[in-house]
Amino acid sequence: MDYEEKVGIKRVTAYLLLTIGAASMLVPFAWMLLISLMTQQQIFSWPPELIPSPVYVKNYFDVTKAIPVATYFFNSAFIAVLTTVGQLIIASMAGYAFARLEFKYREPLFLLFLATTMIPPQVNIVPLFFIMRELHWIDTFQALIVPGLFGGFGIFLMRQWFKTLPKELEDAAKIDGCNPFQAYFRVALPLALPALATLGIFTFIMTWNSFMWPLIVTNSEAMRTLPVGLAIFKGSFRETTEWGQLMACAVISVIPVIGVFLLGQKYFIKGIMMGGVKE
């Protein structure tokens, strides 16, 4: 067996293992979708039905009557979009300042921001709750959006990206009469699209899936997000859990996350590779 044949066998084996791994990750999503199209009797039948027959689409209509799915969906989308946009604006400006502007204590301040990424989010819940209470923001959109606008990871990612850009581009912009903000907005920011897409996907998914913080700072049903609504629906006082309706609601909650990832997949991969480049 020559060298090329050995390389070919290793490559085929690697692709086969990766395919099996990817397929195993899709199994829970496929099973969730199938259960959402089954009746309660079909779900607990033995042997289990892999393909529902007949397809029971009524679960998607029934769950909207059982809980206000539209309200939960709107709240989650509204909070995730505003948090993502705010995070992109703040993190890109701060990252550019740490990468390009010269000011006193720049490096110690950056290390301080970086240190915040080592603190578990659960540690901040109690002090954040007291701050929200003093501001009278409990059970409001402000409490769900404002804490997510700032993050050390976003600043780190954007700083590392701006560090990789040639300084000559900004020097040329300054010669043309641009001030630092114009150089950031007109030159550096358009070139940072991969990093922005990466940070946007991370922020959107984390905000959309956030459960503990919305559970703590919301009291009314009108302010609940989709993950909280799903948990309350599952734990509601019923004789039996309506698994078909629960999985139907779970399918609805997964669709935006998958859509956002697929839209920014190309930039996401590129941003991950470039954002971690060392100086």
Please check whether residue 8 lies inside any domain of the structure: no
Number of residues assigned to the chain:
279
Integer Cα distance of 57 and 30 in angstroms: 16
CATH of the domain at 99: 1.10.3720.10
Q: pLDDT confidence of 227, banded at 50, 70, 90?
A: very high
The domain containing residue 218 runs over which residues?
Answer: 66-275
Please check whether residue 13 lies inside any domain of the structure: no
Please check whether residue 36 lies inside any domain of the structure: no
Task: Tell how far CA 41 is from the center of its chain.
Answer: 35
Please check whether residue 206 lies inside any domain of the structure: yes
So what's the pLDDT on residue 279? 45
Check: CB of residue 213 under 8 Å from CB of residue 147: yes
Please check whether residue 71 lies inside any domain of the structure: yes
* pLDDT tens profile 143-172: 999 999 988 899 999 998 899 888 888 888
Please check whether residue 2 lies inside any domain of the structure: no
Is residue 278 pLDDT above 70, yes or no? Answer: no
What average pLDDT does the structure give for the chain?
87
Is residue 79 pLDDT above 90, yes or no? Answer: yes
Please check whether residue 267 lies inside any domain of the structure: yes
Q: Tell me, what amino acid is at 145?
A: I
* pLDDT tens profile 115-126: 888 888 888 899
Overall number of domains in the chain: 1
Residue 258, token pair as written in the block: 């998958």
Please check whether residue 233 lies inside any domain of the structure: yes
So what's the pLDDT on residue 81? 96
Check: CB of residue 183 under 8 Å from CB of residue 120: no
Model pTM? Answer: 0.85
